[in-house]
Amino acid sequence: MNASASWVPARSLRPIRGLAASTVTLIALSALASACLSTAHLITGEPPAARTVHVAGLYALVQAPAGIAFVCWLLRARANAYAISPEAFHRYAALFMVAGWLLPVVQLFVPKGIVDDIWAASQPAEGPRGFLGDLRDARRPALVWAWWLAYLAMNAAWAAAVRTVPGTASPAVSPAVLVSAALAAHAALSLLAGALAVGVVTRITAFQGRAHGRRPQPAG
């Protein structure tokens, strides 16, 4: 019998599909809202820095649940990854599951590292007790790379749109043109980052679902 066929998780796997479905839905709504906001600024010509309190509040009502759901899904997925690969050492402490998104500089690389480790540890392909290697040496999936680069580029485009004010652009390009370009890029990148985030959640959830299916079933 090969290693993967005899593998049994050291700890019980918790249900994750329902949480993943909610997270995917909220991420999709958040990406759509973000793209619509940038498009509205493009159509009306109103600079992003001049957002009204009402618009900002409505936007936050969509963004906040999506962020909370994604972090909750990450917590559940990481707990399951520990069950699947109990000997794998994750690079970041549980504190960074939340703080990693908020701390300056750290927020540029820690969230991706957390997802990378969960991805690798959710695939019990190296031994009877799951992933046995060092997660620092695990292959970095292209899908996670693409999602993270799109996410960073999306935030950079929005920052460029907000911070471009008259007098800061070069004489050859007007601030209005720069703002329009940044808003268009932000709208496109919001949809791309959202789609890739949905892909990441779906793939890791599928890995853990297959691991759950490999557990021994009661006789009869």
Q: What digits encode the pLDDT tens for the residues 91-117?
A: 888 889 999 999 999 999 999 999 999
Domain count within the chain = 1
- For residue 219, what pLDDT band results from cuts at 50, 70 and 90? very low
Q: Quick one: which of 161, 216, 165 has its CA closest to 186?
A: 161
- Residue numbers of the domain that contains 165: 14-211
**Mean per-residue pLDDT for 2-27?**
73
Backbone angles phi, psi at 65, to 5 degrees: -60, -35
Quote the pLDDT of residue 128: 46
Interatomic CA distance for residues 111 and 153, integer angstroms: 15
Residue 149 placed within a domain: yes
Residue 165 placed within a domain: yes
Residue 216 placed within a domain: no
Residues of the chain above pLDDT 70, percent:
75
Interatomic CA distance for residues 31 and 36, integer angstroms: 9
Widest Cα–Cα separation across the chain? 78
Residue 218 placed within a domain: no
Residue 146 placed within a domain: yes
Q: State the DSSP H helix or E strand holding residue 70, giving kind and residue range, or none if neither.
A: helix 53-84
Residue 139 placed within a domain: yes
**Mean per-residue pLDDT for 157-181?**
72
Residue 48 placed within a domain: yes
Quote the pLDDT of residue 174: 67
Residue 9 placed within a domain: no
